[in-house]
A and B are shown apart, each in its own frame.
Chain A
Amino acid sequence: MAVYILKRLGLAAIILIVASIILIAMLHVIPGDPVSAALGPRATAQIRAEFAHRMGLDRSFPVQVGKFLWGVLHGDLGYDVWTGRSVTALIGDVLPYTAALATAALLWAIGIGVPLGCWTALRPGSTADRILGAISVAFIAIPAFVVSVYSLLIFAVQLHWFPAMGAGEGFGDVLWHLFLPSLAVGLGWMGYLARLVRSAMMEVLREDHIRAARAYGVPERVIVWRYALRLAVIPAVTVLGLALSSLIASSVFAEIVFNRPGLGRLAYDAVETRNYPVIMGTVFFTCFLYLVCTLAADIAVMLLDPRARRSL
């Protein structure tokens, strides 16, 4: 298992290196000039040269990649070209907001998706199962940003039940501000987890050890919630890493619609000022989070399911 984890860590490191090569190559390969894009056509040669130097554009491509990666090892993701603030600090400032939003969305997804999946798995083919199945598919299908705009329109603008913008201050207020955005972001995964747990649960309930437990007269409730659920959540745990990272990615929309601070908002605002280092740092950091989340989920599966450990 240790060898497997080391291998995965190595692969993650290589992916990060390739990702930074791609991100820096984009500066060179993409037609157009990032300096004039930021400064406009009327900037003098001196200002342009200074700006290119600040973005590191005056160095050769391999040097830029090397410098960036060397910085990454020291927790340095480059600098905001306008204010000179470090991108690491900028990300550090907004990360708690995005983390809170993604975690709250994940809690919605698990808290409602998993029980829903179990409940429908016990009544396959019933009217409730079919209606809830269609609703789950609908939750998966509807784009998160449409849900964000509609929930803002209905519950914040029309009904005034929830605040329309910002992240709030103080514990209760923060939770109140989190309610709509996290629900909008988590809805898709709620439907997906419900479907996943449902089919896994139906498969598990057909297995021999469950039949044996039934034959011994173990109450159905104990069988479902204690024996079967442990196995039925494994496919869901496998995708949790993916879920968390994709929730971080789809938080971008909720952050923009609900005007909340966060990683997505940071990158979105940087587009206006053509602040490439900030966006590049955010993309790189999110990629890093994705790799960490998926690896953590794979390790969690191995801890939960002895069969996965043996198959290595």
Chain B
Amino acid sequence: MSAAMPALAAPRRWVAWCLSTPAGRFSAIVLVIFAASALLAPWLTPYDPNHISVYERLASPSWQHWLGTDQIGRDMLTRVLYGARVALAISVGCTSVSLILGVAFGALAGVGPRVLDAALMLLFDTINSLPTVLLALAIMTLIGSSLPTLMGLIVLFYVPYFGRIARGQTRVLVEAPFIEAERMLGASTWRILRDHLMPNLLGPMAIIASMEMPSVISLEAGLSFLGLGVRAPTATWGNILQDGYIFIRDTPWIAIAGGVPLVLTTLAFTFLGEMLRDRLDPKLRKEVT
């Protein structure tokens, strides 16, 4: 896995590879739309995501409102586009932070004293054993819901996951001849960790992290759906789906509008992740063909 960073220097080949299968083409299109709507939302729609228009509430899809409006007359398409911003920010932000913390703790456990290793692993195992959503509800009872709470929770749940993998990788790397040579030359543990282990860990770990994007997005949306996380007026796909659930008997399009982008992006990320794994893991590739 540590040598699994081929040809990142040749983006054109990666694009060609990505577009070589139907699933890859689907994913590329969805992710381009997702990124574009997140970055360009204010220019793509004439409406404000929080503009209330009582006369147009719960309107069916029309030329003015392609996806209809919600219970207080906000344009659904606008809210979906702005929702992509939150989804993108949270998924990229939380995944990166969890990745860095996970690799740091994992590497520390891998090279540190046995007591530290055992303590960290026990902590990771305990967090893994706790039910994600229920623990989120427990924290929500104590401090209420907010965006930082939500992001903190997601990081809390993903650090042990990345940490465990990073620890395993570190233990393999520590045995490598170049680390042994470095140690014989008198390098300190800290120096080995910083200059040799971290750079070798981050590449492969980043690929693993990118495969976790769909589950981070759905966790964020799921917790928003339960009312934890981003507060009401801000448009997120989870919030839209929650509104849609409340008005499910009158207006199916709110639920549809909140769920479809969620389904499409998680699918696109998953298909890409699968392709990436097949390409990077020759053993798996053999099985597929």
Contact = CB atoms under 8 A, between A and B. Distances in A.
Contacts of B132: 249
Contact of A14 (B122, B127, B221, B289): B122
Contact of A252 (B134, B249, B255, B266): B134
A142 B130 CA distance: 22
Interface string A269-302: 0110011100110110011001100000000000
A109 interface: no
A213 interface: no
A109 B245 CA distance: 26
B34 to A, nearest CB: 14
Interface string B212-247: 001000100110011000000000000001001100
Contact of B129 (A34, A257, A271, A291): A291
B131 A268 contact: no
B241 to A, nearest CB: 6
Given A31-B143, A282-B134, A290-B131, A22 B267 contact: no
A287 B248 contact: no
B244 A15 contact: no
Interface in B103-135: 122-123, 125-127, 129-135
A99 interface: no
B274 interface: yes
A30 B259 contact: no
B249 A157 contact: yes
A41 interface: no
B262 to A, nearest CB: 6
| Among B134, B135, B218, residue most surrounded by chain A Cβ atoms (within 10 Å) | B134
Interface string A30-43: 11101001000000
B270 interface: yes
A149 B255 contact: yes
A153 interface: yes
Grouping DSSP codes into helix (H, G, I), strand (E, B) and loop, the A interface class, with mixed when no group exceeds half, is: helix
Interface string A137-165: 11011111110011011000110000000
Contact of A15 (B129, B131, B144, B267): B129
Given A283-B130, A291-B129, A143 B141 contact: no
Interface string A13-56: 01100110011001100111010010000000000000000000
B142 A18 contact: no
B272 to A, nearest CB: 11
B142 A19 contact: no
B138 A26 contact: yes
A252 B223 CA distance: 11
A27 B142 contact: yes
Contacts of A274: 141
A243 interface: no
B86 to A, nearest CB: 15
Contacts, number: 144
Interface residue tally on B, bucketed by range: 35 or more
A150 B244 CA distance: 10
B175 interface: no
Contacts of A287: 129-131
Contacts of B23: 134
Interface of B: 23, 122-123, 125-127, 129-135, 137-144, 214, 218, 221-222, 225-226, 241, 244-245, 248-249, 252, 255-256, 259, 262-263, 266-267, 269-271, 274, 287-289
30 contacts: A15-B122, A15-B129, A18-B122, A19-B130, A26-B142, A137-B267, A137-B270, A141-B271, A143-B218, A143-B222, A145-B221, A145-B222, A146-B218, A153-B248, A157-B248, A157-B249, A157-B252, A248-B131, A249-B131, A252-B133, A271-B137, A276-B138, A276-B141, A279-B138, A283-B138, A286-B130, A287-B129, A287-B131, A290-B131, A291-B129
Given A152-B245, A157-B252, A276-B138, 14 more contacts: A22-B127, A37-B143, A134-B23, A145-B221, A146-B259, A149-B248, A152-B248, A158-B252, A250-B133, A252-B133, A257-B245, A268-B226, A270-B137, A283-B131
- The 7 A-B pairs of least Cβ separation, nearest first, read A143-B218, A141-B270, A286-B131, A18-B126, A249-B131, A279-B138, A141-B266
Interface of A: 11, 14-15, 18-19, 22-23, 26-27, 30-32, 34, 37, 124-125, 134, 137-138, 140-146, 149-150, 152-153, 157-158, 199, 202-203, 245, 248-250, 252-253, 256-257, 263-264, 267-268, 270-271, 274-276, 279-280, 282-283, 286-287, 290-291
